[in-house]
A and B are shown apart, each in its own frame.
Chain A
Amino acid sequence: DGGITQSPKYLFRKEGQNVTLSCEQNLNHDAMYWYRQDPGQGLRLIYYSQIVNDFQKGDIAEGYSVSREKKESFPLTVTSAQKNPTAFYLCASSIRLDRVDYGYTFGSGTRLTVV
């Protein structure tokens, strides 16, 4: 079955550590996205990518970094510069960034907690 796989489901980070969240899709989608969800805040866009080796900052990119070395993969690194990283992180994909008639497919999320 095609879909998006996020791992791990739960992640604990110590102060000052960088952590990387994995996102893999086998839908042959060109565009991929990372959103952050906080309670009562809805989803906020961190980064997005429309093609391999290219990505754009979203609304809250500070303290995060991404890479897009393969079409199928779009990992997100939460760096120590992100001062409030505890949140639910959602990865999504769509056919193409300019095909706006299609919805997004989401992964099941990674819950990151700072300990």
Chain B
Amino acid sequence: SQQGEEDPQALSIQEGENATMNCSYKTSINNLQWYRQNSGRGLVHLILIRSNEREKHSGRLRVTLDTSKKSSSLLITASRAADTASYFCATDWGNSGYSTLTFGKGTMLLVSP
């Protein structure tokens, strides 16, 4: 399966700490995306990194991509209780010009006040 795998499955930290989540995948990709899901809600797109990029920032989010290791990491700095959610990586790997996203199983992040 091309499905990405997030690590860890669950992460519990205190407010103000940094949270790092990792994603590994199996084949070449066009881009990799990170999404956030609050409990019982839809997913929200956070950030997209293309296969020719190595690092990208958006506010308190930092994403890295290592295509040689087929892995990505999402860093949330200075976490807040409101960051509590599940985080999913999604890979776009189609080579025909048309593609769909394949999602991992997610990392559940709990940020305690």
Contacts and interface: CB of A to CB of B under 8 A. Distances in A.
B45 A105 contact: yes
B106 A101 contact: no
Contacts of B28: none
B98 A42 contact: no
B30 interface: yes
- Report the contact-size class of chain B (Cβ under 8 Å from the partner): 20 to 34
Interface residues of A, number: 29
A6 B41 CA distance: 11
Given A42-B106, A43-B88, A100-B30, A109 B42 contact: yes
A62 to B, nearest CB: 17
A42 B88 contact: yes
Contacts of B104: 42
B81 interface: no
A104 B99 contact: no
A42 B105 contact: yes
Given A40-B105, A42-B88, A42-B106, A100 B99 contact: yes
Contacts of A101: 31, 48, 50
B27 to A, nearest CB: 15
B3 interface: yes
Interface string B85-113: 00010001010011111111110000000
Interface of A: 4, 6, 33, 35, 40-45, 48, 50, 58, 88, 90, 92, 97-98, 100-109, 111
